[in-house]
Structure 1
């Protein structure tokens, strides 16, 4: 493999065709085709299905692209940093974040830093929690915001946030007038929640089981904003984490506490052993300030509390199973 081959493959994935990729890179179509063929030969598997001028990605090609895309992003950032060094310009800032923080809280924290000067290039990569951990641990990103659990030796945790999950319902739903939504309200109604069963969704399912509540059906998604918008459309009652619920208010949606203790935990992390710039340090503090001001019931914990918090949350979930 060489970088030209990876760049050619990434361009095909972005453009959707060999012809379009050739235009993006300013190369001839035969030259680009040869690069892709050489890459496939080096890898030992096909990346693309070819049907005349049309190409589609193979299953292995899609999996490989998931590895290539962050590498290409890192290389672009490396080029920018090299250019900045050459002219003594401040380096760019690269941030990885779960979607809930990226849409509301993070922009607000950056807005405050902008008064003292953000670099010319700021990169925000919105990913699932596992990818945030990967981006920060491999130093593709300088700082990350991810949900717990997280346990990686290449990460330094600066603080851990905790706040109770909430319910979202359409503003014209009768429940919107309540002070608090009981889990029993989900009996016979559609539950809208997260798809990942290994994070806080697990505690939602267990809480419902403990209360003997059975929703009529379930709509699950991988982003909280989709869950909230589904609730706005009247599709059911959403149980969501509080970061996006309060960080990005949506007209036509009522956000209310629930009568069950389901904590959402998240952490601000950086690569272990990497010195913090003043900008990154300011962002770490700014994220804590925004969380305090925006999220009801927010509690900030030191990094040393991680094991206790994870044990408390998941042992209580296990207790629900055994009850």
Structure 2
């Protein structure tokens, strides 16, 4: 059969309008042209779609059955067109972000708020994860954007800087050291100290600094979470050194933040999958992340 989309369009117009005259007006064509296309469709099908009575068309049972199928197809096409147009307006666009738990708490929320203020129809999926799972998933191209600390080169991933700052001290607001504008490592000597877990790279960096300075602390509590560290300090269980983002997010209500006299670098990097189809909103989110960083 050589049935073309034009034939189906003509048939639908006749069924919708109820007459050849009305169908011709719908399709902006002449009645003779439309009648020829309709006759050609019936010839190709091998059966009549309409009965001609006194110059009027009456749909057969086969025509009504065919029209039901045609309507379902055109409704599906309508949804495709609506979806295509919505994508051009960012409606229904989806952005998947993989990040460290600390960044989902401290940096990402305000950046997302700024992004969604200008792109309110965007849907965002945030998945917190720690290395090595975070590294593996980004290498597998599962997410549009990854956010990590001290990012190392990964296969299939481009790394871009987002933030470079220094770690800071957190302590209870009523602690004697809170009166100082800046803390030395020697200020922590013999005091209770809340540490990160022993496998955390910042824990190793901080421990190395205190060892080099010959400062002994009371290491009684440790945890993987920077937010948990701040809450333990707020509860009066000790002092700590954490990243500036979490410290800023948790500051106040009994928790003080102070800079250190030594620099313990803290970095946030964007992980961009090289082989995943580019999501245009990633660059917009990165601009907001850097602005807030």
Q: TM-score range by the shorter chain?
A: 0.5 to 0.7
Q: Distance in 2 between matches of 1:136 and 1:101?
A: 16
- State the 1:138 CA deviation: 1.7
- 1:63 corresponds to which residue? none
Q: Secondary structure of 1:227's partner?
A: helix
Q: CA deviation at 1:149?
A: 3.9
- Residue of 220, 238, 259 corresponding to 1:218: 220
1:156–1:270 CA contact under 8 A, matched in 2: yes
- More off after superposition, 113-122 vs 200-209: 113-122
- Range moving further from structure 2, 161-170 or 245-254: 245-254
What TM-score, normalized to structure 2?
0.66
Aligned-pair distance for 1:189? 1.2
Contact 2:166 2:265 in 1 (8 A): yes
Between 252-261 and 271-280, report the one with greater CA deviation.
271-280
Q: Given the alignment of the two structures, is residue 104 of structure 1 paired with residue 106 of structure 2, yes or no?
A: yes
Hey, what's the Cα distance between the residues in 2 that align with 1:270 and 1:216? 40
Equivalent in 81, 87, 101 of residue 83 of structure 2: 87
CA distance in 2, matches of 1:290, 1:238: 24
* Preserved contact between residue 195 and residue 221 of structure 1 (Cα < 8 Å): yes
User: Does the C-alpha gap of structure 1 residues 143 and 170 become closer, same or farther in structure 2, counting only changes over 3 Å?
Assistant: same
3-state SS, counterpart of residue 260 of structure 1: coil
> Match of 2:259?
257
Aligned residues: 209
Whole-Å separation in 1 of the counterparts to 2:80 and 2:242: 41
**Structure with the greater alpha carbon radius of gyration:** 2
2:58 maps to which residue? none
CA-based RMSD? 2.2
Say which is worse superposed, 225-234 or 247-256, in terms of deviation: 247-256
CA drift at 1:168: 0.4
Q: What residue in structure 2 maps to residue 163 of structure 1? A: 165
The separation in 1 between residues aligned to 2:285 and 2:187, in whole angstroms, is 40
User: Match of 1:245?
Assistant: 247
Q: Note if 1:206 corresponds to 2:202.
A: no
Q: What secondary structure, in the 3-state scheme, does the structure 1 residue paired with 2:228 have?
A: helix
